[in-house]
Amino acid sequence: MSETRIERDSMGELQVPAQALYGAQTQRAVENFPVSGQRMPVQFIRALLLAKAAAAKANIKLEQISAAQGEAIVQAVEQLLAEDFIQHFPVDVYQTGSGTSSNMNANEVIATLASRVLGEAVNANDHVNCGQSSNDIIPTSIHVSAALAVREQLLPALQHLAQAIEAKAGQVHHHIKTGRTHLMDAMPVRLSQVLGGWAAQVKGAQAHIESTLPALQALAQGGTAVGTGINAHPEFAAGFARELSTLTGVEFATGANLFALIGSQDTAVALSGQLKTAAVALMKIANDLRWMNSGPLAGLGEIELQALQPGSSIMPGKVNPVIPEATAMVAAQVIGNDATVAVAGQSGNFELNVMLPVIARNLLESIELLANTSRLLADKAISSFTVNDAKLKEALSRNPILVTALNPIIGYLKAAEIAKTAYKQGRPIIEVALEHTDLSRDQLQTLLDPEKLTAGGL
């Protein structure tokens, strides 16, 4: 057995791994919650550590702890952030609903390191947790981690994807393909118009996600246990927000109503909903790519995605649309994460939401998944596919739905008759129209020119 030491908390003594930086309360959580083996996300722990440093700085100025104690706490946080800190945070995601175990994990680890820096005891509760409660520091860390992850990871990735789509649209503008509604042949569209629709979806998702940032940057810190601010200096909340803003470079502020920010997670639910919208957009784009790439002989075969790996362990030469498939799975996971966040958001029982850790986990996983897959989709699918122009032209030449352009001249019923005949006989629409109308070949070629039929839209 590994060596242990004895640690004490308000419930008594227990054994803790000898080299662990954490103490008794963390060890109790490790023993109490062997649920998933999943630790809290790195981004969340980073935000929690930054919050502890900001609290220490604010408490020094408010003379709630000594300058030496506060500076030792800040140095401890800096040391953790400079290394692989997650090893010191073993608490399972599925823990106490307030996240108290994760808060005390951080308090104990920081207290151990700060005590070493200072050369005397720094207390996890009295000093590191001064002016705080798990009930405000954990909701605060959810907001901070999500705001930073959205800014640093997701928004740049979505912008990269939108730019890649727009660049590709410019390259393929001259290609015209058969449009499809209900998966059935429809009027022609430019390939650039298809991609323009995708880009608009991505930009829309980006804008909706960005719109949640002001609410994410409003923090619960200062409300302490139930929102009243018990045991926190009256100026602590404002001082904390200023210090955190300096540390992160993002403008955080005290929320307008701390009771709402502790008792509910409405902002997290709103952000998760916007992440789901982004996932739905990526699913649509991925599926369009898969359909257009299908074949190459028995499918649509309109485009050819970059070949990235063998597609079958038994069928030689088979290549699959692996990036769109991975994107679709990410979208499914994000949609599922949103369902969990929605249920968890309903667990605001009186003055505290009690599903905070799983909200943090799902939000941050969704952000990371969407950011990573957006870049892959941009670089390994959108930017690199090639167009099978011969296949596009072949399908267009046999598309009876082009007869729609004749509706104003010959009427819907006559046009339908021509389309059905062309379908049945497998003949070009112009040849059938010549037999059933008084229009000349030149007139029909002008009226049914696919390039002219795509002039509408952007």
> Cα 246 vs. chain centroid, distance in angstroms?
26
Token readout for 181 is: 């509604």
Query: Per the residue annotation, which of 2, 10, 182, 313 is the catalytic one?
Result: 182
In the DSSP assignment, the letter for residue 382 is I
- Verify whether residue 182 is a known catalytic residue: yes
Rounded to 5°, angle at Cα 332 from 328 and 334: 115
Contacts of residue 324, defined as CB under 8 A and 6 or more positions apart, other chains included, come to 285, 286, 287, 289, 290, 293, 305, 377, 381
One DSSP character per residue, 6-69 reads: EEEETTEEEEEETT-S--HHHHHHHHH--SSSPBPPHHHHHHHHHHHHHHHHHHHHTTSS-HHH
What single-letter amino acid sits at 42?
V
Strand partners, 217: none
- Answer whether 250's CB lies under 8 Å from 234's CB: no
Contacts of residue 197, defined as CB under 8 A and 6 or more positions apart, other chains included, come to none
Comparing CA positions, the residue from 380, 378, 383, 393 lying closest to residue 302 is 393
**Contacts from 278-281 at CB under 8 Å and sequence distance 24+?**
278/158, 278/202, 278/205, 278/206, 278/208, 278/209, 278/334, 278/370, 279/330, 279/331, 279/332, 279/334, 279/335, 279/338, 279/366, 279/370, 280/331, 280/335, 281/198, 281/201, 281/202, 281/204, 281/205
Phi-psi map region of 222: left, alpha, beta (phi>0 left; psi -120 to 50 alpha): left
For residues 310 and 435, what is the distance between their CA atoms, to the nearest angstrom? 50
Query: Per the residue annotation, which of 211, 312, 397, 440 is the catalytic one?
Result: 312
- Verify whether residue 436 is a known catalytic residue: no
- Answer whether 308's CB lies under 8 Å from 357's CB: no
Contacts of residue 142, defined as CB under 8 A and 6 or more positions apart, other chains included, come to 44, 47, 265, 268, 356, 359, 360, 363
The residues that are catalytic are: 182, 312
